[in-house]
Structure 1
């Protein structure tokens, strides 16, 4: 697996990426996320053998502000695994590669933050296995209460 920032040559992979309603209850589709890409919001693709298996955005500055006071933090948002690729360990692998990717591409960052819906216990467990910690911070999101988790360098 390799993590790549989005460029137009990957558009066909985004077009093929499928999520089902039960996933969309907790995350956004990459097609919608790409519309929000900016200098502070970077779409990241986890690619295995030419196929997009996991997608997420890395959001700095105003994106992380509701979840952390750390100006050197980056937020993982819209994390998902393509419906036909679930259960193969790709989400875990992407999360395990993430700290090194962030340190290489965003050297000023010393914390990775994410917010997970309290009802999404499977994702909470995955994040904990990958080194994210729950320090008791909660926020209200558009899809319910969120648990804010952090990975510190």
Structure 2
């Protein structure tokens, strides 16, 4: 069963229309945000990398790699980036695309974000599916917690 080609690419305007059709179930929106809302958010660093998970040129997932103030809540490493707003379009969930996309992350960071040596993220303790996914794709739980607006989060680290 060939899944097609999965790649990570930086967001560009040519994907705007496809992303506007992106759909997430309500219960997932508690833990993430819609891609275009994040991309057009004025309150995030200009250095943020907006990354699409594409399968056969079709955007199926999205996440941001942020630096700046927000990162410092999770890590003191100036060379790290904070992964936020990870999501897979609801119609494409359950097909292993999140796992494939995250496995491509270290190479993507090395190619596109020179000098970055780590990706960190906070994942809500209630979001057990996401915790399992991140641990399976190389993130490590070093026992740190961050108490965010939606409750306690595990802080996970991925060396790149």
Q: Name the residue aligned to 2:3.
A: none
Pick from 128, 138, 143: which aligns with 1:136? 143
Q: Name the residue aligned to 2:53.
A: 46
Q: Name the residue aligned to 1:34.
A: 39
Residue segments in structure 2 that go unaligned for 5+ positions in a row: 1-5
Are 1:85 and 2:92 matched, yes or no? Answer: yes
Structure 1: how far apart are the matches of 2:128 and 2:137? Answer: 14
- Number of aligned residue pairs: give it: 153
Structure 2 residue matching 1:9: 3-state secondary structure? helix
Residues 45, 67 of structure 2: 8 Å contact kept: no
Q: Name the residue aligned to 1:72.
A: 79
Structure 2: how far apart are the matches of 1:10 and 1:129? Answer: 29
Structure 2: how far apart are the matches of 1:63 and 1:8? Answer: 25
Give every structure 1 segment of 4 or more consecutive aligned residues whose post-TM-superposition deviation is greater than 3 Å.
none
Structure 2: how far apart are the matches of 1:145 and 1:63? Answer: 16
Residue segments in structure 1 that go unaligned for 5+ positions in a row: none
Structure 1 residue matching 2:104: 3-state secondary structure? helix
Which deviations, in whole Å up to 9, do the C-alpha atoms of 1:90-129 show, x marking residues without a partner? 0000100000000111120111101100000111011111
Are 1:23 and 2:28 matched, yes or no? Answer: yes
RMSD (Å), alpha carbons: 1.2
The TM-score with structure 2 as length reference comes to 0.91
Which one is further off, 126-135 or 53-62? 53-62
Structure 1 residue matching 2:123: 3-state secondary structure? strand
Which deviations, in whole Å up to 9, do the C-alpha atoms of 1:53-106 show, x marking residues without a partner? 111001023231110000000111000111010100000001000000001111
Residues 45, 68 of structure 2: 8 Å contact kept: no
Structure 2 residue matching 1:87: 3-state secondary structure? coil
How far residue 38 of structure 1 moved from its aligned partner, in angstroms, is: 4.4
